[in-house]
Amino acid sequence: MRVYIEPANILIYEEQASSGKKAKGWFGGFCECGGTLIQRTWHNINGRDILISECDRCWRFKLIAFVEYEVYEVSDVVSFNRNNLREFFKSFLSEAEYEAVMTKIAGKNYNYSAFSRAKKRFEEMGLDIDSFLKLI
């Protein structure tokens, strides 16, 4: 799973989450569509430095992983922003867990057991579910 959560600058790569540092550079390579990749964030997961870039023409996000100074991997990344963050929850959680999270956000009585399972899934990747709830 390669997922970039834009409002929080978080990358989920190989079931590990990393909070990124804003990139200081501008140029991040070229996209297949002919556009220029603009650097967004840098992450370090499992000894790999990972650059997340966004194409200025097609708006796709690319992941470029480096081991030392060698390119290890280049791939597309599924990006979620504030508008479609619920879709990330829906794709990542079971239906019961998703319903519990959405009910909790609404401030209603929720299934504590299902919410607890959802929270555990986030914690296993090193994420705090409460920080995500603030983004929705």
Same domain, 89 and 72: no
Same domain, 90 and 75: no
47, 22 in Cβ contact below 8 A? Answer: no
Same domain, 73 and 106: no
Confidence of residue 41 (pLDDT cuts 50, 70, 90): very high
Model pLDDT for residues 9-23, shown as the tens digit of each residue = 999 998 889 999 999
Confidence of residue 74 (pLDDT cuts 50, 70, 90): very high
pLDDT average, residue stretch 70-97? 92
Residue 57 lies in domain: 2-80
Q: 136 pLDDT exceeds 80?
A: no
Q: Please classify residue 18 by burial: count the beta carbons closer than 10 Å to its beta carbon, then call 0-12 exposed, 13-18 middle and 19+ buried.
A: buried
